[in-house]
Amino acid sequence: MMNITLHGTNYIGCKTSKKGIDTFHAINPKTGEKSELEYHTATEIEVDTSCKLASKAFNDFRKINDEKRAKFLDKISEEILNLNEKLLQVADWETGLGISRLTNERERTRNQILLFADVIRNGQYKEISTDYQDPQNKLERMLIPIGPVAVFEVSNFPFAFGVCGGDTVSALAAGCPVVVKGHPSHPQTSELFAIAMKKAVEKVGFPKGIFSLLHGNTNVPGMNLVGHPDIKAVGFTGSVRAGRSLFNIAAARSSPIPVYAEMGSVNPVFITQSAINARSDQMAEQFAESIALSAGQFCTKPGIFFFPSSEESVCFLKKIAELMKKKKIQSLLNKNIYDSLMKGTSELTSIDGVELIAGGKIGDKPISLQNTMVKTDISTYCKEDRLKKEYFGPLALFVECDSQQQYLEIVDGFHGELTGTIHMEKEDYNGVKILFDRLSEKVGRIIINGVPTGVKVSHAMNHGGPYPATTSVSHTSVGTTAIRRFLRPICYQNVPEDFLYDFSK
Amino acid sequence: MMNITLHGTNYIGCKTSKKGIDTFHAINPKTGEKSELEYHTATEIEVDTSCKLASKAFNDFRKINDEKRAKFLDKISEEILNLNEKLLQVADWETGLGISRLTNERERTRNQILLFADVIRNGQYKEISTDYQDPQNKLERMLIPIGPVAVFEVSNFPFAFGVCGGDTVSALAAGCPVVVKGHPSHPQTSELFAIAMKKAVEKVGFPKGIFSLLHGNTNVPGMNLVGHPDIKAVGFTGSVRAGRSLFNIAAARSSPIPVYAEMGSVNPVFITQSAINARSDQMAEQFAESIALSAGQFCTKPGIFFFPSSEESVCFLKKIAELMKKKKIQSLLNKNIYDSLMKGTSELTSIDGVELIAGGKIGDKPISLQNTMVKTDISTYCKEDRLKKEYFGPLALFVECDSQQQYLEIVDGFHGELTGTIHMEKEDYNGVKILFDRLSEKVGRIIINGVPTGVKVSHAMNHGGPYPATTSVSHTSVGTTAIRRFLRPICYQNVPEDFLYDFSK
């Protein structure tokens, strides 16, 4: 087993750096304990240096051929494994997500790296298209990398959307250098990944400027990063407030750049009476599991369930409530999430017409909430905006509707959602078709008789949706087509072969 | 021959409407004559109605299958032909572009409509991708239309980027209703196309809300259009000032939308000494033709030429100057273009170190400029920002460089360009490779030994580039992939076949 030493530093072009005076510590969410290691918030100069190094490195990196880049990705995956148990232990200490979940997430993260290696080996991602009709003006169109990318780590997927996560890897696969803004919830985990990345870069001999990690527990380094002229695109996952503010900075630049922000979603679920009649036990299990999984800290957690008023639905809700009560309670990822969830929960339960049917109290773990269900009726839902927003954590709202006919009106009131789910039986087909049709206009993914959590990293996945689910409905942040965000077309007209295929050397 | 009557009206959901009090007239650029017909600037209510009708129509339009939409495109092309000589005569009266150029442009416009019909018949544009590994969670990803699109007509391509031009047709092909803001330079031409579109819509029995044409000679209707909540994307071609202001409006919306603005470009050309030695006559012909074509009113007009200082280059410039003087002088499209070009020309020629070598005076046609060449040296170019901007019209700047080595530095100073061109010989290959490499980072299309004008509508074309050439480097406004701008991915998870393939009925 290797001995891996953490330094509490930023990694600027793969080199350690801690010039900042402002420092912060990792905090164990389960114990409130502070880590000994002090992390230094990146200074404006460190941000600037990272971006400039990225821009300089881009000149060489973009010319490195697909196979070499694929091998580099393989190497990253290998170096992540070389972080061994230390990665799991440190991440568990910082996030409280548990060794089992983190082991799975490490596997998912490594698989997604290998999948992108496959994507670039396959080569189709370049969308090469030729038109040789006019021999004097042969046209060759292909996608090329967009330039240095700023990536923001998230707290709830410290691996899969971490320093070596989906955004970073799809950018590197595209041939774009990456400057990562680490999440202050797990700086040690971030540093471990930076160490893995540094080793991979060194082993393949790539320009070191292709990777930087910047720490910070304020939004200043991130804002400077998005405003930096050398940054050409932004990958972000987080709240609507934070995502929109980065979008605004990018749009106000003298040269605006795309911000691929994956933000909030209530992930509505519509349930028909026939579905309740046919399989209320099975659905109750599925829903309770999906709401409480990882303390509900998923952007795809089903947040609002719509069901028809009936005797059977009363029993159905009781079943879910019972199951929710039995589910394990977990500490939340950090104090900010906890504070905002507790505030939200007390606000929600104080609304006239909203009934608490399970949980609602501080959990038996530190900074935790019991698995919580609140119920309301359709008229309260319609008039109360606080019932339409996302509550990040193990909490779901159940809305009793007079009839399934109301579902259409509800859908028309949505803006944009990452997912929409319908539970139904065969006999519902005709009625549900219209609902399906309208709902698909509001979401990035539509699920029948399932749950929205568990986003498979696949060619056929889409993790996006109309605003405010994302700032760019045209793209996905999960799945192989995520690479498209960091590519742009170019047309070569009458260019000698020598020039074009230089890149494969 | 049909009798086609113009009404001076907007077309709101294919229906004539003129509620506005503000009116304007078409003006013949060659004679200054005003048309009798009065056009009514669209009111805020007319803009709102168009967008609402588009949004309503979208619910049905997006479910119409590809073959029916392809037939609709075929019909539009047919109805354009049915406008017969009237279209050419009216457009020539309004634009002065000449019957021959307009006849060609009509052909190009019809071909591009038929090409998009092919694209949707082929079906690959939907990028259907499936993952059936887990039978309980079958995934099917595809691209679907984004929603109603606002399209801004341009003055310099009254057909190809007009009411039935590339932006409109790629949006309709995608399944998106279109609200066109007509260009005030040619309102009668716009209305003729609206009549063709109305007939096509009626003949195929599609919802009438899928098409509206709004007139206006102020920027108010366009601003209202881009700010309208029912509009989901914008296609624009024009100046950086106008494009950026629409981009800003779109970015400031409560739900931001993408703006695909194709804006300014100087389309730099780099010439090696060997190229001048080998084929200065041929290049002189090519360049003079490309600069003066349609009075230089192309976004791809080569605006700045860089050449090495030498005896041969003195002769070379003389040749171009002679040819330019012989080329036909044409009236510009409108008084605004004329005024801004005349102001620019006098500003340009008043700069110390800038020498007028051909033209520079008012042309022999109304609102025209002689085909104009100005020359400067590299040090003047470097220090003077006014030498780096686009002058729309038959004017080009020639910059004498001390050596070809300076070309790299020049490229580094560029922001974004639609095109970049290099003229060279085989012996230049090694030296030019670096230039090619750096230049390709700044442009959407790179041309070797050719001219940037003459943008082929092809699968392999790209008409885009880094800002300020466009607001979205990831996309093209010419070529079949232009349809991507108006599509967005969705993932269907475990959705019954009955639901998914309903669209093909």
- How is B396-458 classified by DSSP, letter by letter? EEEEEES-TTHHHHHHHT---EEEEEEE--GGGHHHHHHHHHHHHTTEEEEEESS-S-----S
Per residue of chain A (505 residues), give pLDDT as tens. Answer: 457 999 999 999 999 999 999 999 999 999 999 999 999 999 999 999 999 999 999 999 999 999 999 999 999 999 999 999 999 999 999 999 999 999 999 999 999 999 999 999 999 999 999 999 999 899 999 999 999 999 999 999 999 999 999 999 999 999 999 999 999 999 999 999 999 999 999 999 999 999 999 999 999 999 999 999 999 999 999 999 999 999 999 999 999 999 999 998 999 999 999 999 999 999 999 999 999 999 999 999 999 999 999 999 999 999 999 999 999 999 999 999 999 999 999 999 999 999 999 999 999 999 999 999 999 999 999 999 999 999 999 999 999 999 999 999 999 999 999 999 999 999 999 889 999 999 999 999 999 999 999 999 999 999 999 999 999 999 999 999 999 999 999 999 999 988 875 444 4
- Whether B491 sits inside 8 A of A445 (CB atoms) is yes
User: What pLDDT does residue B3 have?
Assistant: 79
Residue B211 has pLDDT above 60, yes or no: yes
The verdict on ipTM greater than 0.90 is yes
User: What pLDDT does residue A2 have?
Assistant: 58
Render pLDDT for B403-435 as a digit per residue (tens, 0 to 9).
Answer: 999 999 999 999 999 999 999 999 999 889 999
Q: Same CATH fold, A269-448 and A14-263+470-504? A: no
User: What pLDDT does residue B500 have?
Assistant: 78
A residues 42-81 near B, CB within 8 Å?
59, 63
Question: Backbone phi, then psi, for B452, in 5-degree steps?
Answer: -75, -20
State how far residue B415 is from chain A, nearest Cα, in angstroms: 9
Question: Backbone phi, then psi, for A373, in 5-degree steps?
Answer: -125, 130
Check if the beta carbon of residue A74 is closer than 8 Å to that of residue A34.
Answer: no
User: What pLDDT does residue B146 have?
Assistant: 98
B residues 470-489 near A, CB within 8 Å?
471-476, 479, 481, 484-485, 487-489
- Would you place residue B2 in the very low, low, confident or very high pLDDT band (cuts 50, 70, 90)? low
Check if the beta carbon of residue A348 is closer than 8 Å to that of residue A380.
Answer: no
User: What pLDDT does residue A366 have?
Assistant: 93
User: What pLDDT does residue B234 have?
Assistant: 98
- Whether B136 sits inside 8 A of A450 (CB atoms) is yes
User: What pLDDT does residue B501 have?
Assistant: 57
Fold of B10-263+470-504: Aldehyde Dehydrogenase; Chain A, domain 1 (3.40.605)
User: What pLDDT does residue A501 have?
Assistant: 56
* Single-letter code of the amino acid located at B197: M
Check if the beta carbon of residue B415 is closer than 8 Å to that of residue B255.
Answer: no
What CATH homologous superfamily does B269-448 map to? Aldehyde Dehydrogenase; Chain A, domain 2 (3.40.309.10)
| B478: CB partners within 8 A, 6+ apart | B166, B455, B457, B461, B462, B463
Residue pointed to by tokens 């239309």: B145
Q: Answer whether A459 touches B (CB < 8 Å).
A: yes
Check if the beta carbon of residue B75 is closer than 8 Å to that of residue B204.
Answer: yes
Could you say which of B51, B176, B299, B401 is catalytic? B299
Active site residues of A: 262, 299
Does the predicted model carry a pTM greater than 0.95? yes
Q: From B317, B318, B291, select the one nearest B302 (Cα to Cα).
A: B291
Which of A119, A491, A495, A500 is the mutation pick for testing B, counting most B CBs within 10 A? Answer: A491
Per-residue pLDDT averaged across B13-21, rounded?
96
* Single-letter code of the amino acid located at B430: N
Q: Answer whether B434 touches A (CB < 8 Å).
A: no
User: What pLDDT does residue A264 have?
Assistant: 86
List of chain A residues whose C-beta atoms are within 8 Å of the C-beta of residue B124: none
Residue B84 has pLDDT above 70, yes or no: yes
- Would you place residue B498 in the very low, low, confident or very high pLDDT band (cuts 50, 70, 90)? confident
User: What pLDDT does residue A499 have?
Assistant: 84
Nearest to A476 among B416, B481, B489 (CB): B489
Paired strand residues for A140: A130, A492
Per the annotation, the verdict on B312 as an active-site residue is: no
Task: Check residue B369 and report its DSSP letter.
Answer: B
Residue B504 has pLDDT above 50, yes or no: no
User: What pLDDT does residue A497 have?
Assistant: 86
User: What pLDDT does residue A505 have?
Assistant: 44
* Single-letter code of the amino acid located at A50: S
Long-range Cβ pairs for the range A97-104 (8 Å, 24+): A97/A158, A97/A294, A97/A330, A97/A333, A98/A330, A101/A294, A102/A158, A102/A159
> What is the C-alpha to C-alpha distance for residues B57 and B44, in angstroms, rounded to an integer?
20
List of chain A residues whose C-beta atoms are within 8 Å of the C-beta of residue B272: none
User: What pLDDT does residue A76 have?
Assistant: 98
Check if the beta carbon of residue A117 is closer than 8 Å to that of residue A146.
Answer: no
Nearest to B433 among A436, A490, A499 (CB): A499
* Single-letter code of the amino acid located at B272: T
Q: Which two tokens stand for residue A239?
A: 């709240």
Residue B1 has pLDDT above 50, yes or no: no
User: What pLDDT does residue A502 have?
Assistant: 46
Per the annotation, the verdict on B382 as an active-site residue is: no
Reading phi first (left if > 0) and then psi (alpha if -120 to 50, else beta), residue A476 is in beta
* Single-letter code of the amino acid located at A421: T
Check if the beta carbon of residue A439 is closer than 8 Å to that of residue A419.
Answer: no
Domains of chain B, by residue range, sit at 10-263+470-504, 269-448
**CA geometry: angle at A389 spanning A386 and A390, to 5°?**
135
Residue B378 has pLDDT above 70, yes or no: yes
Pairing relation of β-strands B395-401 and B372-377? parallel
List of chain A residues whose C-beta atoms are within 8 Å of the C-beta of residue B415: 255
Pick the CATH number of A14-263+470-504 from 3.30.420.40, 2.40.10.340, 3.30.450.20, 3.40.605.10: 3.40.605.10
> What is the C-alpha to C-alpha distance for residues B312 and B271, in angstroms, rounded to an integer?
12
**CA geometry: angle at A475 spanning A474 and A479, to 5°?**
150
